[in-house]
């Protein structure tokens, strides 16, 4: 049992809300501040990609017994549905039978989490703009504008759960010896929607993450409970096929006609939404340290914002809380120790999932349409079914496992080196499930570092 | 001839002052703002490493005819003086006969540059704190404190020459698609001094950059005109031998006795200065873009702060101005074009000199004391003297040449791969200047990519 503390969390997003539930259940007084209005009372902004909840996310929810409730607002997706141009849809299972990731609307989940936190007794202060933080004092300065009078709010501990452009981290960044990087992709994204059929059913296979891979760019669709799909167009800002080229209604219509003819007519209000919804950016943020004495810690995107191509942003943030919680069990009231161990344990995993996510854009947008890649996945699956102890595919390690991301990255690279050798075997297309292939893989596996 | 503009420069350091001279000579109105007091009227802070002016620096000074005047406040250093433990001092020439880098005190140079800029008609506003910048409006907001009333100062163009922790860059950083990283070394530094002999002469060889390499840490000394040396101890913050271990007068004395016995007694007020002078940090800062429309541009450390181990920080900043000046000649009043080309041309070179500088810490602190390394340098010099067109050593490419840093890095890596093969030749110690070595190098050079 920890000694009750007076704790402030900056940011009422998914990670902030979940953390507040954990801390409240441990007997702490928890206040959550957010500069934005209460998400439950406003229209959401149309710049969201649906979430894909997987093992790490579920684990963190289960620990505080809210996983079942959240599962009810999600839709299981057990496969990719790949829509290559001029070919039938190709379905590729994500894992073993029964393994799924769950499509959940960010706004629906966020509202739910805030409801659950309030029910626990967490207090939320919306429209409360934190302009400055005194880290050694765990004190927030809140006010109308950056130059207005500020209210001084003293706590024992402050958590920064305020996202990629975190104010709490910003304060840390002014310290010496704070390493920091932000790197934007030249690819941006735009949200679009596919509405349900008249009878409320889904227009596309409901239990799939749909991908229209087109090389430099891609379109994806994730199912919602109401029969709709939340869709995202990922595309470079500049260049041959890019957002900069889609400035007129005609250009947008022609572009979708050319590259996405089979889905174009299902997109609701295509041209309208295209110009109404913002074009958002994608950024990878890394920093270190994540904590300050026993006074402050960053969690989720504020510590490690990643690009969305592995569906791990929220899952990684939730896993931060799992780790923090384990360390609270272990070190009890020694918050300095909890924070030191937390950042030390999480940092290499955050770096690993950042790298995996960055790489996965190429896999999703380009390779999923490639015959060789599909064969490679097929061989991996075949071998893995035969030797489940010897071969867990990278995707499964990241998505359906609770082992560290850094391990997944390392073993994934090793497996890739094996598959590279398999794929250059002569006539691999015909003998892909032969004893020869099996023997080669087994031999190469023995080289394991 | 450019149309006269109203230009503000934030930062009155070396790069800001030099840029102001260039712009004033072109007929622009130039105001320089600095949050600090006039450096000419205060005691300098004791946290400076002496500068090493080399080819790129001199080129930029020469163009505005101030090189001769500056040369008079510098001392040429044509070699390293390497003080390994228990060995006689070893002298290693930096370049060919007649090639030197120049030791110049930062504060002496900075004062001189401001004098020269004022003589040109540049206006300086000291103690003027710039808190915010409107980039699209080229407007500065200046005031007593962050929360006081600010004065609004409208210009046509704003330059950020405000160093590693630039406010102007900070404003750019809040924009989307601004890539940024700051990475601190675990090594810090502290300034110390060796006073002149009673007769005003130098206590050590005057025309050398003195290095006491000790592996993880090192001590260096650069000569001043008045017979003194400005010295720097570079050492990790934490660990076996580190600043964290030197907390008492006794510990400092013992440390210098153990590692720097031959120079210890020459250091003036060792213990006093050690505790009076701050322990400073070393940071590499990278960002992109460096400019905003035709309104704002970063120069020097604000765009590319590097660690000091190649003596190129100021030289790289001055080269920014050389490049800007050439582009002003080329594109005249098209400032948008000038800025776009400037950042495009400079960025890869800034990244290259950052990498070279980072690597050079290892060379200075560890390798200079290593027999193999000294032999390697000797072979390079021998071959280079024989084939000056085929082999310009990396140090000379960086220091005595005006070719791009990126080229130096690339060719340097190629040369290293050749020398790696040479150094593993059997009995290289005895046959280092044989025909066999010469032939091998010539053969390997043909592989040039």
Q: What is the DSSP string of B331-353?
A: HTT-HHHHHHHHHHHHHHHHHHH
Q: B218: distance to nearest CA of chain A, Å?
A: 20
Kindly list the residues from chain A whose CB atom is less than 8 angstroms away from the CB atom of residue B237.
Answer: 177
CA angle B347, B353, B359 (to 5 degrees): 140
Whether residue A135 has pLDDT greater than 70:
yes
Looking at the complex, does the CB of residue A149 fall below 8 Å from at least one CB of chain B? no
CA distance linking residue A237 with residue B343, whole number of Å: 19
Rg (CA), chain B: 23
Task: For residue B106, name the pLDDT band (cuts at 50, 70, 90).
Answer: very high
Contact B182 A183 (CB under 8 A): no
Task: Yes or no: say if A331 and A382 are a contact pair by the CB < 8 Å rule.
Answer: no
The per-residue b/e assignment along A399-428, b for 16 or more CB within 10 angstroms, e otherwise, is bbbeebbbebbebbebbeebbeebeeeeeb
Tell me the H-state helices in B164-312. Answer: 167-173, 249-259, 261-264, 270-276, 301-304
The tokens 């390997």 sit on which residue? B444
For A441, residues 6+ apart whose C-beta sits below 8 A from its C-beta are A383, A391, A418, A422
Same domain assignment for residues B419 and B309: no
pLDDT, average across residues B262-267: 96
Tally of residues, chain A: 449
CA distance linking residue A58 with residue A285, whole number of Å: 24
Q: Is position B18 within any domain?
A: yes
Same domain assignment for residues B403 and B381: yes
| Helix-strand-coil split of chain B, %, nearest 5 | 45, 20, 35
The CATH number of the domain where A290 resides is what?
Answer: 3.50.50.60
Task: Yes or no: say if A229 and A203 are a contact pair by the CB < 8 Å rule.
Answer: yes
Q: Is position A216 within any domain?
A: no
Looking at the complex, does the CB of residue A144 fall below 8 Å from at least one CB of chain B? no
Task: For residue A46, name the pLDDT band (cuts at 50, 70, 90).
Answer: low
Q: Is position B13 within any domain?
A: yes
Looking at the complex, does the CB of residue A275 fall below 8 Å from at least one CB of chain B? no
- What pLDDT does residue B45 have? 64
Q: Is position A294 within any domain?
A: yes
Task: For residue A365, name the pLDDT band (cuts at 50, 70, 90).
Answer: confident
Looking at the complex, does the CB of residue B183 fall below 8 Å from at least one CB of chain A? yes
* Token representation of residue B306: 């590097």
- What pLDDT does residue B447 have? 86
Tell which of B132, B147, B282, B285 to mutate to test the A interface (max A CBs under 10 Å): B147
Q: Is position B76 within any domain?
A: no
Kindly list the residues from chain B whose CB atom is less than 8 angstroms away from the CB atom of residue A180.
Answer: 180-182
Same domain assignment for residues B288 and B432: no
Strands A179-184 and A283-288: antiparallel
Domain boundary among A301, A329, A360: A360
Per-residue pLDDT reduced to its tens digit, B279-314: 999 999 999 999 999 999 999 999 999 999 999 999
Among B443, B417, B441, B416, CA closest to B431: B441
Contact A182 B183 (CB under 8 A): no
CA distance linking residue B157 with residue B135, whole number of Å: 9
The tokens 């006269």 sit on which residue? B4
Among A147, A145, A177, A135, CA closest to A297: A135
Per-residue pLDDT reduced to its tens digit, A90-106: 999 999 999 999 999 99
pLDDT, average across residues A371-384: 94
CA distance linking residue B302 with residue A106, whole number of Å: 38
Task: For residue B433, name the pLDDT band (cuts at 50, 70, 90).
Answer: very high
Q: A212: distance to nearest CA of chain B, Å?
A: 26
- What pLDDT does residue A366 have? 82
Structural domain of residue A351, as residue ranges? 6-43+106-181+284-360
Residue B206 DSSP one-character state: T
Same domain assignment for residues B410 and B436: yes
Same domain assignment for residues A384 and A293: no
Residue of B nearest to A177 (CA): B184
Which residue in the set B177, B179, B182 is minimally distant from A179, CB to CB? B182
pLDDT, average across residues B62-88: 96
Q: What is the mean pLDDT of chain B?
A: 95
Same domain assignment for residues B333 and B381: no
Looking at the complex, does the CB of residue B145 fall below 8 Å from at least one CB of chain A? no
Domain boundary among B332, B360, B388: B360
Strands (E), B237-383: 283-288, 291-292, 296-298
Looking at the complex, does the CB of residue A145 fall below 8 Å from at least one CB of chain B? no
Tally of residues, chain B: 449
Looking at the complex, does the CB of residue B97 fall below 8 Å from at least one CB of chain A? no
pLDDT, average across residues A390-400: 96
Strands (E), A135-177: 139-142, 151-154, 157-160
How many other CB atoms are found less than 10 A from the CB of residue B439?
A: 10
Number of structural domains chain A divides into: 2
For A62, residues 6+ apart whose C-beta sits below 8 A from its C-beta are none
| Residue B80: φ, ψ to 5° | -85, 140
Report helix, strand or coil for A219. strand
Contact B181 A178 (CB under 8 A): no
Ramachandran area for residue A293 (φ above 0: left; ψ -120 to 50: alpha; else beta): left
- What pLDDT does residue B154 have? 98
State ipTM. Answer: 0.85
Q: Sheet containing B101-104: which strands, arranged edge to edge?
A: B51-53, B101-104, B75-77
The tokens 């920093």 sit on which residue? A287
CA distance linking residue A108 with residue B396, whole number of Å: 62
Task: For residue A64, name the pLDDT band (cuts at 50, 70, 90).
Answer: very high
Same domain assignment for residues B119 and B33: yes
Tell me the H-state helices in A184-334. Answer: 249-259, 261-264, 270-276, 301-304, 313-331
Q: Is position A304 within any domain?
A: yes
Per-residue pLDDT reduced to its tens digit, B146-170: 888 999 999 999 999 999 999 999 9
Residue of B nearest to A188 (CA): B177
The distance from CA A26 to its chain's CA centroid, rounded to whole angstroms, is: 27
Q: What percent of chain A has pLDDT over 90?
A: 93
How many other CB atoms are found less than 10 A from the CB of residue B391?
A: 20
Contact B176 A237 (CB under 8 A): no
Same domain assignment for residues B412 and B354: no
Whether residue A360 has pLDDT greater than 70:
yes
Same domain assignment for residues A374 and A356: no
Domain boundary among B360, B392, B407: B360
Among B160, B64, B154, CA closest to B117: B64
Looking at the complex, does the CB of residue B152 fall below 8 Å from at least one CB of chain A? no
Same domain assignment for residues B430 and B305: no
Contact B182 A178 (CB under 8 A): yes
Q: Is position B401 within any domain?
A: yes
Same domain assignment for residues A384 and A323: no
Same domain assignment for residues B21 and B144: yes
Whether residue B79 has pLDDT greater than 70:
yes
Q: Is position B92 within any domain?
A: no
- What pLDDT does residue A449 have? 66
Contact B281 A177 (CB under 8 A): yes
Task: For residue B449, name the pLDDT band (cuts at 50, 70, 90).
Answer: low
- What pLDDT does residue A157 have? 98
For residue A235, list its beta bridge partners: A188
- pLDDT higher for A190 or A49? A190
Lowest mean pLDDT among A286-300, B41-55, B285-299, B317-331: B41-55
Q: What percent of chain B has pLDDT over 70?
A: 99
């Amino acid at each position: 049992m920890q000694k009750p503390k007076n704790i402030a969390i900056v940011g009422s997003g998914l990670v902030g809300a979940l953390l507040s539930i954990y801390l409240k259940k441990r007997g702490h007084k928890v206040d959550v501040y957010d500069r934005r209005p209460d998400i439950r009372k406003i229209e959401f902004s149309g710049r969201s990609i649906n979430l894909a909840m997987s093992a790490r996310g579920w684990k963190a929810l289960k620990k505080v017994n809210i996983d079942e409730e959240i599962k009810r607002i999600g839709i299981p997706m057990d496969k990719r549905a790949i829509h290559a141009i001029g070919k039938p849809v190709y379905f590729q299972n994500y894992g073993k039978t029964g393994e799924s990731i769950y499509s959940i609307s960010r706004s629906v989940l966020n509202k739910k989490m805030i409801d659950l936190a309030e029910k626990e007794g967490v207090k939320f202060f919306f429209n409360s703009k934190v302009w400055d933080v005194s880290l050694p004092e765990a004190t927030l300065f809140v006010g109308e504008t950056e130059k207005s009078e500020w209210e001084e709010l003293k706590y024992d501990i402050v958590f920064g759960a305020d996202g990629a452009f975190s104010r709490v981290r910003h304060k840390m960044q002014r310290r010496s010896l704070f390493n920091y990087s932000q790197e934007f992709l030249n690819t941006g994204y735009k949200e679009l929607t596919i509405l349900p059929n008249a009878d409320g059913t889904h227009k596309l296979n409901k239990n799939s993450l749909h991908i229209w891979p087109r090389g430099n760019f891609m379109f994806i669709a994730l199912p919602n409970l109401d029969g709709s799909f939340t869709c995202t167009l990922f595309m470079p800002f500049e260049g041959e096929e890019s957002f900069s080229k889609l400035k007129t209604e005609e250009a947008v219509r022609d572009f979708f006609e050319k590259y996405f003819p089979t889905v174009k007519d299902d997109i609701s209000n295509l041209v309208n939404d295209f110009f109404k919804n913002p074009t958002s950016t994608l950024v990878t943020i890394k920093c270190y340290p994540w904590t300050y004495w026993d006074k402050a810690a960053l969690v989720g995107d504020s510590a490690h914002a990643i690009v969305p191509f592995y569906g791990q942003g929220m899952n990684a943030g939730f896993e931060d809380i799992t780790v923090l919680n384990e360390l609270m069990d272990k070190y009890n009231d020694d918050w300095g120790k909890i924070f030191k161990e937390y950042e030390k344990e999480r940092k290499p995993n955050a770096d690993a999932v950042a790298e995996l996510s960055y790489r996965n854009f190429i896999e999703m947008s380009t390779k999923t349409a490639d015959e060789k890649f599909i064969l490679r996945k097929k061989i991996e699956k075949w071998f893995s079914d035969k030797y489940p102890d010897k071969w867990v595919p990278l995707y499964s390690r990241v998505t359906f496992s609770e082992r560290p991301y850094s391990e997944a990255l390392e073993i994934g690279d090793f497996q890739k080196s094996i598959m590279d050798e398999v794929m250059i075997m002569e006539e691999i297309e015909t003998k892909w499930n032969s004893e020869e292939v099996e023997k080669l893989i087994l031999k190469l596996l023995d080289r394991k570092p």
